Amino acid sequence: MSIPPRDRAATDRAPVRPRHPAPSFARSVWLVATREIMARLRSKAFLVSTGILLLISIGSVVAGSIASQNQTLPKVAVVGTAAQIVEQTQSFRMVEADDVAEAEALVRAETVSAAVVPGTATDAPLGVRVIALDSPPVGVLAALSITPTVSLLEPSTQQSGGLVYLVSLGFGLVFFMSAITFGSTIAQSVVEEKQTRVVEILMTTIPVRALLGGKVVGNSIMAFGQIVAIGLLVAIGMATTGQIGLLGTVGPSIVWFAVFFAFGFIMLAALFAATASMVSRQEDVGSATSPVLFLVMIPYFLVIFFNDNPTVLAIMSYIPFSAPVGMPMRIFLGGIAWWEPLLSLMVLLASTAVVILLGSRIYSNSLLRMGARVTFRQALRG
Amino acid sequence: MLEIRAINKRYGTRQVLTDVSFGVASGRLTGFVGANGAGKTTTMRIILGVLSADSGTVSQDGVPLTSDDRRRFGYMPEERGLYPKMKVGEHLVYLARLHGLSPASARRNTIELLDRLALGERAGDLVQSLSLGNQQRAQIAAALVHDPEFLVLDEPFSGLDPIAVEVVMSVLSGYAAQGAPVLFSSHQLDIVERLCDDVVIIADGEIRANGPREQLREQHSRPRFELCTDADTEWIRAVPGISVLDLSGGVAVFEAETDAASQTVLRQALDRAPVTSFSQQRPSLATIFTEVVQ
């Protein structure tokens, strides 16, 4: 038996091939995560949307401070010696009138909300008399009255309604935006790997769980980085525009929000990756991941509509999907025990672990199934 | 030596592989031949551990393969693909690093390999900007960039232009010459015939033929001979045990019932006139393939 000549001499004989030890699991995860991060940083769409988000958050802080500085004091007309008394309150802008008749005219013309004129000793123990149009001007009276000292036995920590609404909108919106943005990014990158078939090479190179882990870690770092950047910008913005007081009230809940967000996002990321792995085309990503989108949208709407309903908020703060919004909101509103955020965090951690286990099972069972959408049963059974 | 032993695989109710067993010897090129849907890709995926078999083993020198062993494989899947928006060079470095290479050796291997595949100037281009043929070369580079100890390539020649075919053939031969087992599937039987030391033929999920190429050709040879001589060969018709298939002048093609009968023809021919050639006709791989898959 002869083997026909084949030109083996012509092919280059490399020296004995070196053996490369397989990278550790953590190393593999990190390599995948780095690639994900680089891919995001090179994407113009990502850079533009991050820029817009940062601009919006800094803009809202600045707008808030401008609005609070321009709050106009009520105008009152003053006559003669009454001016001194009104000036002491520092609560009004004064319009000097020459006499009582002119002051009355100003009140009638509604250029001022009231007039303060010197009173005679008999009708005015305070030395001034207040003239108003049709009803006693409560604000003006309160500013000019002497009130006794009040001691509250159980001071309410209730925040004012407008601020509560703004903070709930802030938490809800930031969570919603980041989860949607990075969630769909993960989903797309999973399907990209499946659609371009590069996934089969990756699967023979590193464990599938390292691939999933790297995607989740990489995108979570980006999402978390974005949240931290927004948080810092808002804090710096508040500090420089003289809203330190507000920062003190909102600060702790922002820190808790960041912690909850980090773990909550990992859970969502695993879900996005798992559901996306069940389809093979970018066109199908939307429908495949829509159940997860609902999980993200529900807490967003709940916190906006029910930010004044303690029961709903209490339930929300323990359900893993809404805890990242619900718990910081309750911390902001105050009146919760110290262990409540910790317990909720435990629940979140446990469910994140379960979701990652299930998610990686779905993910590894679906990756090589091209074509028709994989059913949940197939994906879980393998 | 890579050994595939008694692999069975079933998708739902469909049995796709039945008792598939064959070996891939170190330092030899093994061609894996079969029609579409015969089970080539499934077998290769099982060898690589991307799919799990229902039963059977894949072992190296008698030891079952672990996932760490499989990292030292170079694999080119049938479904081609790389990240379209990564640069070719970066992509190869990334894959090499996933296999555990240091950044420096990953870069060195990438540059060497791209030069060898005549893609050196494209290292900075995005994968999606390459022509199909060049993407195919990049894909081959992706299978080789981590100094694999085994090569498993699913249809490495499909979609390549003739020059690229030559380049890839020499790269694969080079790997085998260094002592690596190389298994590749192909539809192009002429390439397999030229290149392979061993051939495995699969049909309907069963191995139909398996062994060194020349041995297979011998096994499937019929007792058919060709004799070329200077004189007329009409006399062969009279030799017992011989049936003549074709006679034209000094060339005769005949079948012999026994070895002795064919030797008698040769002896008599030598007595009559000088013999320029006497040979048993060997079937081509294509002929063997059609024969065994039926």
User: What is the average pLDDT value for chain A, to the nearest integer?
Assistant: 81
Distance between CA atoms of residues A262 and A15, nearest Å: 48
Say what the pTM is.
0.75
Q: Band the pLDDT of A380: cuts 50, 70, 90.
A: confident
Distance between CA atoms of residues A365 and A180, nearest Å: 25
Question: Which tokens is B204 given?
Answer: 């309907």
What is the secondary structure of A138-166 as a DSSP string? HHHHHHHS-------SS---PPPHHHHHH
Question: Which tokens is A34 given?
Answer: 């780095």
Percent of all residues in chain B with a pLDDT value above 90, rounded to a whole number: 36
B248: helix, coil or strand? strand
Which of the two residues, B18 and B79, has the higher pLDDT score?
Answer: B18
pLDDT for B142 equals 93
pLDDT at A239 over 50: yes
User: For testing the chain A interface, which of B9, B46, B97, B98 should be mutated: the one with the most A CBs within 10 Å?
Assistant: B98
For B258-269, what is each residue's pLDDT tens digit?
A: 888 888 888 888
pLDDT at A370 over 90: no
Residues on chain B touching A206 (C-beta within 8 angstroms): 98
Q: Band the pLDDT of A104: cuts 50, 70, 90.
A: confident
How far apart are the CA of B218 and the nearest CA of chain A, in angstroms? 9
* Dihedral sign of CA atoms B44, B49, B55, B57 in order: positive
B75: helix, coil or strand? strand
Cβ-nearest to A1 among B73, B86, B214: B214
Residue contact B77–A197, C-beta within 8 A = yes
Q: Specify the range with the lowest mean pLDDT, choosing from A36-50, A272-286, A299-313, B38-52.
A: A299-313
Cβ-nearest to A14 among B49, B99, B178: B178
Residue contact B98–A18, C-beta within 8 A = no
Residues on chain B touching A31 (C-beta within 8 angstroms): 94, 97-98
Q: Specify the range with the lowest mean pLDDT, choosing from A174-178, A266-270, A342-346.
A: A174-178
Chain B residue with minimal CA distance to A31? B98
For residue A199, give every residue at least 6 positions away whose Cβ sits within 8 Å of its Cβ, in sequence order, or none.
Answer: A193, A211, A367, A368, B81
- What value does the mean pLDDT take over residues A308-317? 86
pLDDT for A137 equals 80
Percent of all residues in chain A with a pLDDT value above 70, rounded to a whole number: 88
pLDDT for A3 equals 43
Residue A20 backbone zone (phi > 0: left; psi -120 to 50: alpha; other: beta)? beta
Dihedral of the alpha carbons of B145, B150, B154, B160, in degrees to the nearest 10:
50
pLDDT at A7 over 70: no
pLDDT for B280 equals 83
pLDDT at A11 over 60: no
Distance between CA atoms of residues B148 and A26, nearest Å: 22
* Dihedral sign of CA atoms B18, B283, B191, B1 in order: positive
pLDDT at A266 over 50: yes
How far apart are the CA of B249 and the nearest CA of chain A, in angstroms? 30
pLDDT at A15 over 50: no
Residue contact B105–A1, C-beta within 8 A = no
- What value does the mean pLDDT take over residues A69-73? 63
B8: helix, coil or strand? strand
pLDDT at A89 over 90: no
Which of the two residues, B40 and A302, has the higher pLDDT score?
Answer: B40
DSSP B270: H
- What value does the mean pLDDT take over residues A352-358? 91
Cβ-nearest to A22 among B45, B100, B197: B100
